Amino acid sequence: MRQEKFTCSTRTIHKTCADSGATFGKLLLEIRLSLAARRLSLGGERISEIACSCGFASLPHFSRQFKARFGVAPSV
Protein backbone atom coordinates (compact mmCIF):
# COMPACT_ATOMS: atom_id res chain seq x y z
CA MET A 1 0.00 0.00 0.00
CA ARG A 2 1.27 3.44 -0.87
CA GLN A 3 2.09 5.70 2.05
CA GLU A 4 1.85 9.45 1.66
CA LYS A 5 2.76 12.23 4.04
CA PHE A 6 0.15 14.40 5.69
CA THR A 7 0.73 17.99 6.69
CA CYS A 8 -0.42 17.27 10.24
CA SER A 9 0.50 14.89 13.02
CA THR A 10 -1.11 11.55 13.79
CA ARG A 11 -2.43 13.07 17.00
CA THR A 12 -4.17 15.84 15.05
CA ILE A 13 -5.84 13.30 12.78
CA HIS A 14 -7.09 11.27 15.75
CA LYS A 15 -8.29 14.41 17.55
CA THR A 16 -10.14 15.67 14.46
CA CYS A 17 -11.87 12.31 14.11
CA ALA A 18 -12.79 12.27 17.80
CA ASP A 19 -14.15 15.83 17.58
CA SER A 20 -16.51 14.68 14.82
CA GLY A 21 -17.66 11.67 16.85
CA ALA A 22 -15.67 9.04 15.00
CA THR A 23 -12.46 7.13 15.43
CA PHE A 24 -9.70 6.94 12.88
CA GLY A 25 -10.19 3.18 12.65
CA LYS A 26 -13.92 3.50 11.92
CA LEU A 27 -13.30 6.20 9.34
CA LEU A 28 -10.64 4.09 7.64
CA LEU A 29 -12.95 1.05 7.62
CA GLU A 30 -15.74 3.11 6.05
CA ILE A 31 -13.41 4.39 3.32
CA ARG A 32 -12.11 0.88 2.57
CA LEU A 33 -15.63 -0.59 2.43
CA SER A 34 -16.92 2.22 0.21
CA LEU A 35 -14.04 1.76 -2.18
CA ALA A 36 -14.59 -2.00 -2.24
CA ALA A 37 -18.33 -1.57 -2.89
CA ARG A 38 -17.61 0.74 -5.81
CA ARG A 39 -15.11 -1.67 -7.33
CA LEU A 40 -17.49 -4.60 -6.86
CA SER A 41 -20.21 -2.68 -8.70
CA LEU A 42 -17.89 -2.13 -11.66
CA GLY A 43 -17.17 -5.85 -12.01
CA GLY A 44 -14.13 -7.36 -13.68
CA GLU A 45 -12.23 -8.16 -10.46
CA ARG A 46 -12.37 -11.08 -8.07
CA ILE A 47 -13.71 -10.36 -4.60
CA SER A 48 -10.47 -11.62 -3.04
CA GLU A 49 -8.41 -9.18 -5.16
CA ILE A 50 -10.60 -6.26 -4.13
CA ALA A 51 -10.51 -7.24 -0.45
CA CYS A 52 -6.73 -7.50 -0.43
CA SER A 53 -6.10 -4.28 -2.36
CA CYS A 54 -8.51 -2.36 -0.10
CA GLY A 55 -6.46 -3.34 2.95
CA PHE A 56 -8.31 -6.31 4.42
CA ALA A 57 -6.14 -9.08 5.86
CA SER A 58 -8.46 -11.90 4.82
CA LEU A 59 -11.49 -12.59 2.67
CA PRO A 60 -13.61 -13.83 5.61
CA HIS A 61 -12.88 -10.63 7.57
CA PHE A 62 -13.76 -8.51 4.55
CA SER A 63 -17.00 -10.44 3.98
CA ARG A 64 -18.09 -10.03 7.61
CA GLN A 65 -17.34 -6.30 7.63
CA PHE A 66 -19.01 -5.78 4.25
CA LYS A 67 -22.18 -7.62 5.31
CA ALA A 68 -22.29 -5.74 8.64
CA ARG A 69 -22.05 -2.40 6.80
CA PHE A 70 -24.25 -3.00 3.74
CA GLY A 71 -26.53 -5.85 4.87
CA VAL A 72 -25.56 -8.15 2.00
CA ALA A 73 -22.58 -10.36 1.26
CA PRO A 74 -20.10 -8.97 -1.28
CA SER A 75 -20.63 -10.20 -4.81
CA VAL A 76 -19.56 -9.24 -8.31
pLDDT given for residue 51 in this prediction: 97
Q: Is the pTM of this model over 0.75?
A: yes
- Yes or no: say if 32 and 56 are a contact pair by the CB < 8 Å rule: yes
Torsion of CA 74, 58, 10, 3, to 10 degrees: -90
Nearest Cα to 52, choosing from 38, 68, 63, 41? 63
Task: State pLDDT tens for residues 48-73.
Answer: 999 999 999 999 999 999 999 999 99
Average pLDDT over residues 9-19: 86
Name the band, by pLDDT with cuts 50, 70 and 90, for residue 22.
confident
**Interacting residues of 29 by C-beta distance below 8 A, sequence separation 6+:** 65
